[in-house]
Amino acid sequence: MLLCSFSASPGNYGPGNYGSLGEEVILMKTKQLCVGILYRVCLFVTGLLIAATMTETATASQPPNVVLIISDDQAWGDYGFMGHPHIQTPRLDQLARESLVFSRGYVPSSLCCPSLATMITGLYPHEHRITGNDPPATPGVKGLRNLLRDPTFVAVMDKMDDNIERVPTLPRMLAERGYLSLQTGKWWHGSYARGGFTDGMTHGDRARGGRHGDAGLTIGREGLKPIRQFLDKANQAGKPFFVWYAPFLPHQPHNPPEWFLSKYRDKTDSIHVAKYWAMCEWFDETCGQVLDLLEEKKVADNTIVLYVCDNGWINQHDTSGYMPRSKRSPYDGGVRTPIMIRWPGHLQPAKCEHLASSMDLAPTILAACGLSTPAAMSGVDLLDSSAVAARERIFGEVFTHNAIDIDNPSVNLKYRWCIDGSWKLILPNSRNVKNGEIELFHLTTDPNEKHNLAADRQEIVARLRGHLEANWQPE
């Protein structure tokens, strides 16, 4: 526009600027020539500007790609950016500097299968009905290896897996906007296709070890080739993509490469703890490799990266196992996780102290990708700051590891919990927790949940209990 205005100005070519007729004629011809050239230049530049505008519009209307990074069995504080004194997570620290970080993030359920099912559906376990990792064991058949060969057990597994086809999932919903979706890592519901992914690693064949990821569990531990190939495929197809990156990390087996383990051997007197810490750094390295891949393929600027962990893990001192107040428990060691969202050009990096839940991931992704959120999803769009600030409480529910009844979540329930501001209520279900007691903690002053205030603050117990009953009343 500036060039056009300049070339249309008559002052530069006015006759009063020249001394003789001959000169004037020459100058007039020169002027006409110049005007002609400038006119063409103008048209060319205008064309370029229109083309550039159209390109911008096309880019703006191109839905963003989505990468969901899911840690497996890692406590909420076990990152550099969350303040751990020894564990080094340089790549996730960098992601945190570039992201909207919810340091008070939670998952409703502190066990892998129901937790992941919540992320991909935006539903509570009592809603998607996937409450445990496995169905009830067949009487008389002992050991998972034998159970996976038992036709009765496998038939019940398949029936339990049907639940994922009964509910909307992110890949199925994103497909409505033309997305290609890739499953890598953990996946509990048979083939990746049952969740609506267009591409994936997990075959789900029980005869070949299908249970919680099979071939998918090599991702990260053995490189990222399937993701690299998928990004090329999406690029060639000209389609937006969704990547589910749920590696078997830092999950057991805790067998970190020696170059990581050597950094932690002298940081603790427990080799088991040192190995877990090294696993956290190994996982961090693979997250960095995923982010590098986005840069290499030049898609990072139009890709939303979300981060969450499926459940906590506090390693025991004397063995490679978890402490009671971590995985499978309703305590923060089991259900709390940082949640991060990076979206270059759309989201200012910041730290948010409001509550967040993995229930929010699906609504957040759908909104960012221009899709409406099904009414059944009760989470909020985490990019809607007013909705985040307005929410007063979040809920969770913890079930038995093996479902007792695959059709009725109430039968499998162990605990419900609610966080309202700084207060956290844990309500045991007497059906599956013998001699359990109601617990109330003030997380701000008692982050390790050591001081049960339920007896002293019964009015708060009653209030939070009312909220829990309003959210879900088990049978």
Instruction: Provide, rounded to whole angstroms, the least separation between the CB of residue 308 and Ca ion.
Output: 11
Nearer to Ca ion, 119 or 440 (CB): 119
Sheet strands (E) in 310-349: 336-342
Instruction: Provide, rounded to whole angstroms, the least separation between the CB of residue 95 and Ca ion.
Output: 20
Nearer to Ca ion, 160 or 231 (CB): 160
- When asked if residue 326 is in the footprint of Ca ion (CB under 5 A), the reply is no
Instruction: Provide, rounded to whole angstroms, the least separation between the CB of residue 112 and Ca ion.
Output: 4
Q: How far apart are CA 182 and CA 192, in angstroms?
A: 8
Instruction: Provide, rounded to whole angstroms, the least separation between the CB of residue 272 and Ca ion.
Output: 18
- CA 263, distance to chain mean position in Å, is 29
Instruction: Provide, rounded to whole angstroms, the least separation between the CB of residue 310 and Ca ion.
Output: 4
Instruction: Provide, rounded to whole angstroms, the least separation between the CB of residue 302 and Ca ion.
Output: 30
DSSP label at residue 64: P
Show contacts with Ca ion in window 240-299 (CB under 5 A). none
The window from 131-139, 239-247, 306-314, 360-368 that contacts Ca ion (CB under 5 A) reads 306-314
Residues 6 or more apart whose Cβ sits within 8 Å of residue 67: 242, 243, 245, 290, 294, 303, 304, 305, 306
Whether residue 105 contacts residue 337, with contact meaning beta carbons closer than 8 Å, is answered with: yes
- When asked if residue 78 is in the footprint of Ca ion (CB under 5 A), the reply is no
Nearer to Ca ion, 240 or 330 (CB): 330
- When asked if residue 73 is in the footprint of Ca ion (CB under 5 A), the reply is yes
- When asked if residue 72 is in the footprint of Ca ion (CB under 5 A), the reply is yes
Nearer to Ca ion, 252 or 410 (CB): 252
Give the per-residue SS3 of 416-442. EEEEECCEEEEEECCCCCCCCCCEEEE
> How many Cβ atoms are within 10 Å of 188's Cβ, its own excluded?
23
Show contacts with Ca ion in window 80-109 (CB under 5 A). none
Instruction: Provide, rounded to whole angstroms, the least separation between the CB of residue 72 and Ca ion.
Output: 4
Helix H or strand E segment including 352: strand 350-352
Show contacts with Ca ion in window 212-231 (CB under 5 A). none
Whether residue 213 contacts residue 247, with contact meaning beta carbons closer than 8 Å, is answered with: no
Instruction: Provide, rounded to whole angstroms, the least separation between the CB of residue 398 and Ca ion.
Output: 13
Residue showing tokens 């190995």: 275
Instruction: Among 65, 133, 311, 315, indicate the residue that binds Ca ion (CB under 5 A).
Output: 311
Nearer to Ca ion, 250 or 363 (CB): 250
Instruction: Provide, rounded to whole angstroms, the least separation between the CB of residue 118 and Ca ion.
Output: 12
The window from 65-73, 280-288, 355-363, 434-442 that contacts Ca ion (CB under 5 A) reads 65-73
Give Cα separations from 14 to 3, 62, 135 (angstroms).
19, 49, 90
For 163, the token pair is 């639940």
Q: How far apart are CA 217 and CA 248, in angstroms?
A: 6
Instruction: Among 310, 360, 439, 449, indicate the residue that binds Ca ion (CB under 5 A).
Output: 310
Nearer to Ca ion, 42 or 280 (CB): 280
The window from 149-157, 271-279, 305-313, 367-375 that contacts Ca ion (CB under 5 A) reads 305-313
> How many Cβ atoms are within 10 Å of 14's Cβ, its own excluded?
10
Nearer to Ca ion, 72 or 439 (CB): 72
Nearer to Ca ion, 73 or 397 (CB): 73
For 291, the token pair is 């982010």
Nearer to Ca ion, 401 or 465 (CB): 401
Instruction: Among 69, 112, 182, 406, indicate the residue that binds Ca ion (CB under 5 A).
Output: 112
Size of interface with Ca ion, in residues (CB under 5 A):
5
- When asked if residue 429 is in the footprint of Ca ion (CB under 5 A), the reply is no
The window from 70-78, 189-197, 199-207, 259-267 that contacts Ca ion (CB under 5 A) reads 70-78
Q: What is the largest CA-CA distance in the chain?
A: 114
Instruction: Provide, rounded to whole angstroms, the least separation between the CB of residue 355 and Ca ion.
Output: 21
Residue among 423, 433, 430 nearest 463 (CA): 423
Amino acid identity for residue 456 in this structure: D
The window from 66-74, 152-160, 344-352, 460-468 that contacts Ca ion (CB under 5 A) reads 66-74
State the pairing for strand pair 199-200/180-185.
parallel
Residues 6 or more apart whose Cβ sits within 8 Å of residue 332: 76, 312, 424, 443, 447, 448, 449
Residue among 30, 28, 52, 38 nearest 2 (CA): 38
The window from 71-79, 117-125, 162-170, 192-200 that contacts Ca ion (CB under 5 A) reads 71-79
Residue among 306, 252, 310, 330 nearest 133 (CA): 310
Nearer to Ca ion, 172 or 275 (CB): 275
- Tell me the Cα Rg of the chain: 28
Q: How far apart are CA 81 and CA 101, in angstroms?
A: 10
Nearer to Ca ion, 112 or 413 (CB): 112
Nearer to Ca ion, 133 or 198 (CB): 133
Give the residues lining the site for Ca ion (CB under 5 A).
72-73, 112, 310-311
